[in-house]
Amino acid sequence: MLRNNIINNILRLTKSATHKNSFPVQRFVHSPSGGTHSSDNGTKVYVVAAIGAAAIAGGYAKYRSNLQLDSGVDVNEEQRIDPDGGVSGAKGSKKTGEVSKINPKEDLRAEGWIRNGGEKEKAYITMEEVARHDLAQDAWVVVEGKVFDVSNFHKYHPGGSQIIVANAGKDVTELFKPVHPPKTLENNLSPECYKGMVDPRAVADSLKAYEAEQERIERERNALAPVETMLGLDELQEAAESFLSPRVINYYGASSLDGYSLAENRSSFRKCRLVPRVMRDVTKVRPQTTIFGVPSALPIYISPASNALLGHPDGELNIVRGASKTGIVQGISAAASFPLSEILEEKSKMDQEGGNKMGMVYQVYLSRDRQKNVEQLKEVVEGGCQALLLTVDSNVGDHRQSTEKLKGAKGNAEPGTRMGPIENDHQWHDASQNWEDLKFIKELAPGLPIYLKGVSHIEDVRLAKEYGLAGCILSNHGGRQLDGARTGFDSLRSIYAQDPQLVKDVEIYIDGGVRRGHEVLQALAFGAKGVGLGRPFLWAQAAYGEKGVIRAVRILEREIVTAMQLMGVTDLSQIKPDMVECLQEIWK
């Protein structure tokens, strides 16, 4: 039924589609036997074509690989997939390595119009024609039968050029639909990018695999055990992994290089032991606090994490609903699947239903094109976000081997190779960013508190204080950037040991590796104001939607409250460093 509706819509759109930049191409007629042949009268027609790639938050809908992606997905919370690598394809075809001499207007070889009812109409663009446009400087893609030219767009794609260029000249419907909300292309590409439409029967074939996969996922999701039976965050992850595709699992779980920092994020909490106090009345405990200046029911927040849509059709909207209903702060990824406007609209709806204004903060990346930040932050400020999280540990792209292998990334040793994994031509990575750029951010968001996300060194915390920032988030980006980088928890302990007063003077948060409530208390003992969790909420909403998000919060709430009682404290302020004992380095 879904496929038939799409085909009918494509046929309807084809009858009215016209564009001044379309070019005539040969018309193909389907025979009763199912084959195709040139029309007997040699009639030619005008083309409809195009590509589809999109941007995210802040003006572009973010493109991420889905389970079915040919290419990889960005695993960062804001998840940039691999940065835009060097594109030798821009100089030559992947087949010949020679410079392309194709002139799109001449090469379409179209002659004349087909008339219907006296009106000029475009005919279908053939997939053979689309396949000609497979270079970085001449890139077309097909999404649900529509052809788009993304030659001038892919370098601005928040997910990097690589995913787009690697699939240029192809039908990317299977890759595109699972990770982009409706109207992504219409909202982010200019009308000139739309080229026309391909034969709807070819579209029907391309949708079969997508539909079958979505049906399988929904069937297996519905067969999961009741969400109430989930007793830990790891169980929610296991539930999601039981039906998600390998590519989605890799996207959510991938790390840089050997995954050392990713593993350390979890193990760092096991280097310390809690030292509880006893014989205290803990009948009533108060786990409430403020996070980024916003009231929170618990000392946790949802870290910005990209592409929630990969796991569930409602993606980030699930997280908005769950965070609102449980009273915790949500961080919005700059690479969210849904446009910021739709996320803010859902927030407004939840605020009205619940009677309370939920906390929402926004993650910012400095773009090489600062105008992108101007547009982005205008929407953030007008939308009512309460703080900015400026990500500073992604000034260049990462190197995620598992993702590259899944998407078949190539090196740059041979002529004609399209993308290299180590080049960095990504508009949302800026290697030139520095402390003076804070003036630019402050001017665009006057009055909004700014927190640096991705800090490890004590001197950077001191500089943040000097520049008048609200605080820092100690983090190694979930192990997705610099492999071997110190964990947020280890950075916290080190900074506290060197300068306890600094931790009191600057709001300090950590993220990475927390999966249990007592681990939150370990961080609070060394002065952290709160702890962020990203992946656990991606897995939770993938498995159970909004209910999964609520369940994840309730699991942590019970564990935090129970740990507080067993530690002998009734308020978070009572948790002190002497209540945590860390092992000597030799035993770690």
Residues with a known catalytic role: 477
Tokens of 170: 């192809």
Rounded to whole angstroms, the Cα distance separating 516 from 547 reads: 19
Residues 6+ apart with CB under 8 A from 226: none
State residue 329 phi and psi, 5-degree precision.
-85, 140
Q: Are 551 and 227 in contact (CB under 8 A)?
A: yes
Q: Are 577 and 525 in contact (CB under 8 A)?
A: yes
Q: Are 54 and 154 in contact (CB under 8 A)?
A: no
Residue 461: closest CA among 485, 430, 496, 425: 496
Rounded to whole angstroms, the Cα distance separating 492 from 489 reads: 5
Q: Are 158 and 55 in contact (CB under 8 A)?
A: yes
State residue 284 phi and psi, 5-degree precision.
-120, 130
Rounded to whole angstroms, the Cα distance separating 436 from 433 reads: 8
Tokens of 268: 């760092």
State residue 233 phi and psi, 5-degree precision.
-65, -35
Residue 329: closest CA among 288, 366, 274, 383: 288
Rounded to whole angstroms, the Cα distance separating 57 from 180 reads: 12
Sign of CA dihedral 110, 114, 119, 121: negative
Q: Are 387 and 364 in contact (CB under 8 A)?
A: no
Residue 363: closest CA among 315, 304, 411: 304
Q: String of b and e for 394-419 (b: at least 16 CB within 10 Å)? A: bbebbbbbbbbebbebbebeeeebbb
Burial class (CB in 10 A: 0-12, 13-18, 19+), 121: middle
